[in-house]
Amino acid sequence: MKIVVIGTGYVGLVSGACFADFGHHVTCVDKDPKKIEMLERNEMPIWEPGLDSLVESNVRKGRLEFTTRLSPALPDADAVFIAVGTPSRRGDGHADLTYVFNAVRELAQKLEHPVVVVTKSTVPVGTGDEIAKILKEEGAPEGCSVASNPEFLREGAAIADFKHPDRILIGANDDKAREVLREIYRPLFLNKAPMLFVSRRTAELTKYAANAFLATKISFINEMADLCEAVGADVQDVARGIGLDNRIGPKFLHAGPGYGGSCFPKDTLALLRTAEEAGVENQIVNAVVKVNDDRKNGMAARVEKAMGGSVSGKTVAVLGLTFKPNTDDMRDAPSIPLVNMLVEKGAKVQAYDPVGMEMAKPHMPEDGVTYADGEMTAINGADALVIVTEWDEFRALDLDAVKAAMKGDKLLDLRNIYERDEAERAGFDYRPIGR
């Protein structure tokens, strides 16, 4: 198959490289010339484990190309995937579809033969209908199909997720789209990945339902963590105790500083807007969003409380800035409100993240934060240490050495990666979440 992917970000680049690895010919198009220039030098514009070698080998085999120009990529294409961003629209939380519709308009004007247009971006119900309308209005050749194929990969494990998905969801209203997509994913079908064929609208909604459900699990366990703290129970054990029940499942039951990232915050909001427009109340998702906002905004107060009520004039070491480990993605990361509020309250923050510091800087206050070159530099002389992101390299710190390098004794472990005994043995006033 000949595939064009529009948008070479976390989803487009991984999808394009994996499709090429299946044996298809893929052209990845991005309007950001810097990204394309980097890719042409085999430098990755995003940090994703294993991506560089996957891209390099497929480029070498002539199956993967990069360009800023859509037209030359289109002849002979069977399918064009749209993988551009769909951020929250400022102010109202609706998914901003400007990038999607602009890409479709350009595509419609440049296509010379019918193709299957596939939305990989997460888009609200009805977007496929709108895309079909735009294709027609802008004079795309007769016979184009529009399908929805939402992506479920996780950053940090994106290649494995793409190649071994729990399911492949295809929303298509015609046989041509179903056939082309079945052929594209055939290599995975042979691996027995379940392929679900549903209507386009159903596929669009399923993606939001999946993210909202996962966000619900996180907000739920975070509320349980608060309850555990109040009544002297251990949320880790509660999570294990409920998670071993197959009806519940163990994943997404880690209490922490609230969910962030490029998907859950914006997708839960967009789902609420969809429900509102449809005149349907989504009380659960509403509560999930509120619990999470309160949680993220409450982390600075937790530090303040640990420090006896004020962080003014104190030095706080923050380990981990990205919204989760193994990515450089800072979108909606819990570290953003935490660091900003700490600085606002008069603290000096010494931050360290293994890969996310450059991406973090625009989200952080200009004054009051210094960026360390390693965890021990960040910790040096700190009154408190806050572990915000559970990067592997923070999981086995020499706590005696950490304590000796610090001025104070507060250890706020927002990811529960240490045991109370070992932290207390090293002399810390240890403050985990929900235990």
Element (DSSP H or E) covering residue 22: helix 10-22
DSSP, residue by residue, 124-152? -TTHHHHHHHHHHHTTPPTT-EEEE----
Least separation in angstroms between CB 327 and ligand NAD: 8
Least separation in angstroms between CB 70 and ligand NAD: 7
Q: Contact 48/158 with Cβ under 8 angstroms?
A: yes
Q: Which positions from 212 through 271 interact with ligand NAD, judged by CB under 6 A?
A: 262-263
**Binding site for substrate: what residues are annotated?**
152-155, 207, 252-256, 260, 324
Least separation in angstroms between CB 15 and ligand NAD: 9
CA distance 434 to 224: 8
Count of residues engaged in binding ligand NAD, rule: CB under 6 A: 26
**Binding site for NAD(+): what residues are annotated?**
30, 35, 86, 122, 155, 266, 331
CA distance 413 to 419: 10
Question: Exactly one of 28, 144, 228, 263 is catalytic; which is it?
Answer: 263
Return the number of the residue (8 or 148) whose C-beta is nearest ligand NAD: 8
Only segment of 23-31, 164-172, 225-233, 387-395 that touches ligand NAD (CB under 6 A): 23-31
Return the number of the residue (57 or 102) whose C-beta is nearest ligand NAD: 102
Q: Identify the residue among 99, 162, 391, 428 touching ligand NAD (CB under 6 A).
A: 99
Residue 130 in tokens = 């709108």
Least separation in angstroms between CB 86 and ligand NAD: 4
Q: Is 28 a catalytic residue?
A: no
DSSP, residue by residue, 248-274? T-STT---SS---SSSHHHHHHHHHHH
Q: Identify the residue among 3, 26, 29, 253 touching ligand NAD (CB under 6 A).
A: 29
Only segment of 29-37, 273-281, 360-368, 389-397 that touches ligand NAD (CB under 6 A): 29-37
Specify the residue for token string 């199909």: 145
CA distance 302 to 431: 9
- Summary count for the chain: helices (H), strands (E): 17, 14
Return the number of the residue (176 or 361) whose C-beta is nearest ligand NAD: 361
* Cβ-closest position to ligand NAD: 9
CA distance 82 to 119: 5
DSSP, residue by residue, 152-201? ---TTSHHHHHHS-S-EEEE-SSHHHHHHHHHHTHHHHHTT--EEEE-HH
Return the number of the residue (31 or 302) whose C-beta is nearest ligand NAD: 31
Backbone angles phi, psi at 25, to 5 degrees: -95, 125
Q: Identify the residue among 1, 3, 4, 12 touching ligand NAD (CB under 6 A).
A: 12
Q: Establish if 208 lies at the interface with ligand NAD (CB under 6 A).
A: no
3-state secondary structure 403-423: HHHCCCCEEEECCCCCCHHHH
Q: Applying CB under 6 A, which residues contact ligand NAD?
A: 6-12, 29-32, 35, 83-86, 99, 102-103, 121-122, 151, 153, 155, 262-263
- List the catalytic residues: 263
